[in-house]
Amino acid sequence: MRPIDVIEGKVSVLDRADVDTDQIIPKQFLKRVERTGFGEFLFYDWLRSGEIELEPNPILVAGRNFGCGSSREHAPWALEDFGFEAIVAPSFADIFYANCTKVGLLPVELDEAHCRAVAEAGEARIDVDDQTVTCAAGVFEFEIEPDIQHRLLNGLDDIGITLESAARIDEFEAAQGAAAGPATTGL
Amino acid sequence: MPQTMFDKIWSAHEVSDGLLYIDLHLVHEVTSPQAFDGLRLAERPLRRPDRTLATADHNVPTDGTKAARLIADQLSRVQVETLERNCEEFGIPIYSLGSDRQGIVHVIGPELGVTQPGMTIVCGDSHTSTHGAFGALAFGIGTSEVEHVLATQCLVQKRPQTMRILYSGELAPGVTPKDLILATIGRLGTGGMVGHAVEYAGPAIESLSMPGRMTVCNMTIEGGGRAGMIAPDETTFEWVRGKAAAPEDFDAAVERWRKLPTDDGAEFDRELEIDAAGISPMVTWGTNPGMVVEVTDSVPDPAAMDSPADRESAERALAYMDLRPGTPMTEVKPERVFIGSCTNSRVEDLREAASIVDGRRVADSVRAMVVPGSQQVKAEAEAEGLHDVFRSAGFEWREAGCSMCLGMNPDTLIEGERCASTSNRNFEGRQGKGGRTHLVSPRMAAAAAVEGHFVDIRDWR
């Protein structure tokens, strides 16, 4: 994952609430076993029917509960591959939010009024370190978990960090005893 | 200090602050190939193959195809074969196409007994919340996290908030766990549980069977909840007893499990009470599971909605669903009926549906199918003769898989078709591009198949 510090540029707007991952990337495109190339299938049905229009700008402003539904990481893969670097919305579905932070697609939670202001401004600058979104309407602060912020700023590999705790995981497993889950290999 | 069940399971699995140990990792073909690639790229071994279990479910045809190499759709075939190859390379037990243990991942875990109280369970699938029905902490993860668990058997997790929903009273006759959870999501909205691990409690929950509890926990994610949980009790222990993976020292395990339920006086971040006795059979009318009404109600009028966002969503949903405000739900006519999915495909669900169609015929206007959740469910149902009941009523009786819940396999709706479905999502195009889904219980789906329109199961025949 590449480090993210500042994301700056034009804003695309998808003014809909509860946009689900089935819309972001329909299931027929989940059959691929690769991780790249999903951008051309983003919002496949909505874009092809002309129901919505979207420019591949760095920032997407969306409605509340964005990314609800399935756990498919293909959704952030598609958004990122399409060209988005940050999604600004009043709220996100949990799994989608987590997936974005693993992929290096920045999810930014702002209240509805501020989301609207960013959408209307048409351009914005998001600073991950300062936790601010700056646009013509003002400077808005956003919350992000410190460890997620640290990982994004430094482009760190989550797994690599956890593996540094391998000794502690060994100890945990040794102490689990009878409470350890069933072995799947013995069935 | 009194603790919630969630607190107990969470703290028992914290390796260090925010690093959670995972007892069981379930794997399927769609969300895993890129994770295995990641392991290979970084030359990382799989930490615990003995805490990992795989099956093929999303892509598999339900027409009796006996092996991955025989799947007609090339992309589906490659995906299932890739899973088989990855499992072989990394030493993961797999029940793929052709195995008598193959089935929907959330059906086979509980049926093999690998799902047990007090465990942490993850899978690259949002309906992993199903396993919470056993008093486990179970949630869906994305592919990067799948790779993380494969490599470390741990996950970096933010502790969710806790929420308890207390259901007073008992469900009325004909009203099912599916109606209970649909009514709950209707009240809270699709984002109403976001950020929370939700414990379902109260008399109406305690009297549910394990399949009923799984239906409730399964749809937690449709309310946005991180995990759904139900305290383990005698019903839970009896389910696990005798299963293939049941603990050898079962009594000792039960002693441990009895300590899991939430302590008296434990505090939740949010609490809510719902009168279970007041819940009716439910039918969704829109394009997310929160767009739901009682079967005796009519299609709602967007103009009557307060919030502009709700109004706009409802208008778009009605246009997609081709429904007019004010139309009684009992006049809505599905031409397809799907009984299956990780929500409602266990033997008990099939028994309920069969009791409705026994001796009756599917309406001429309807094509109806039953897809058992697993090969074991199928075998058990056939031993009871349920397949004959369905077939003589005009239902198709198919092989195990996710089938038409998400249409990643040949079972799909064609554009414009309307379906009464026991699955969990009515999103646009979910069951096939342009398909229109109404979520209902197995009984309601079966009755709609017979009548050709929705009926109030409580006073039907």
pLDDT at A181 over 90: no
Q: What number of residues does chain B have?
A: 461
Q: Which among A98, A185, A186 has the least Cβ separation from residue B145?
A: A98
| Residue B325 in contact with partner chain A when CB distance is under 8 A | no
State residue A1's pLDDT score. 82
pLDDT score of A186: 85
Single-letter amino acid, residue B120: T
pLDDT in tens, A49-71: 999 999 999 999 999 999 999 99
Tell me the ipTM for this assembly. 0.96
Which regions in chain B score pLDDT beneath 50? none
Q: Are A104 and A152 in contact (CB under 8 A)?
A: yes
The residue of chain A nearest to residue B425, with distances taken between CA atoms, is A69
B358 DSSP 8-state letter = T
Contact residues, chain A, for B131 at CB < 8 Å: none
Contacting residues of A for B288, CB less than 8 Å apart? 18, 20, 68
Residue A95 has pLDDT above 90, yes or no: yes
Torsion of CA A37, A42, A48, A51, to 10 degrees: -170
Give the mean model confidence (pLDDT) for residues A96-112: 97
pLDDT tens-digit profile of A7-28?
999 999 999 999 999 999 999 9
Which residues in chain B have Cβ-Cβ distances shorter than 8 Å to A183?
50-51, 245
Q: Check CB contact under 8 Å for A31 and B151.
A: no
Is B254 in the A-facing interface, judged by CB distances under 8 Å?
Answer: no
User: What does the pLDDT read at residue B276?
Assistant: 98
Shortest distance, CA B141 to any CA of chain A (angstroms): 6
Mutate to test the interface with A, among B15, B24, B84 (most CBs of A within 10 A): B15
Please check the confidence at residue A153 and state whether its pLDDT lies above 90. yes
Residue from the list B75, B154, B247 with its beta carbon closest to the beta carbon of A162: B154
Q: Is the dihedral of CA B247, B94, B108, B199 positive or negative?
A: positive
Q: Which of B116, B128, B139 sits opposite A181 (nearest CB)?
A: B116
SS3 call for A11: strand
The per-residue pLDDT of chain A, averaged, comes to 96
Q: Which of residues 352-381 of B touch A (CB under 8 A)?
A: none
Check: CB of residue B268 under 8 Å from CB of residue B239.
Answer: no
Judging by DSSP bridges, how do beta strands B19-21 and B14-16 pair with one another? antiparallel
Mutate to test the interface with A, among B94, B123, B128, B190 (most CBs of A within 10 A): B190
Q: Quick check: B141 and A94 CB within 8 A?
A: no
Calculate how close chain B gets to A75, using CA atoms only, in Å: 10
Distance of alpha carbon A91 from its chain centroid, rounded? 12
CA distance B186 to B205: 18
**Structure confidence at residue B358 (pLDDT):** 97
Query: Residue A2's pLDDT is what?
Result: 87
Q: A-B interface: how many C-beta pairs under 8 angstroms?
A: 208
Tens of pLDDT, residue by residue over B289-340, are 999 999 999 999 999 999 898 999 999 999 999 999 999 999 999 999 999 9
The single-letter code of the amino acid at A42 is: L
| pLDDT, tens digit, 9 for 90 and up, residues B353-362 | 999 999 999 9
Nearest residue in B to A178, CA atom: B253
Tokens standing for B286?
């829109």
Q: Any chain A CB within 8 A of the CB of B116?
A: yes
Distances (CA, A) of B379 to B101, B321, B442, B446: 10, 36, 19, 21
A156 and B CB contact within 8 Å: no
Q: Does A49 touch chain B (CB under 8 A)?
A: no
Asked if the Cβ–Cβ distance from A98 to B23 is below 8 Å, we say no
CA distances from B398 to B241, B337, B440, B447 (A): 29, 13, 20, 19
- pLDDT per position as a tens digit, A43-53: 999 999 999 99
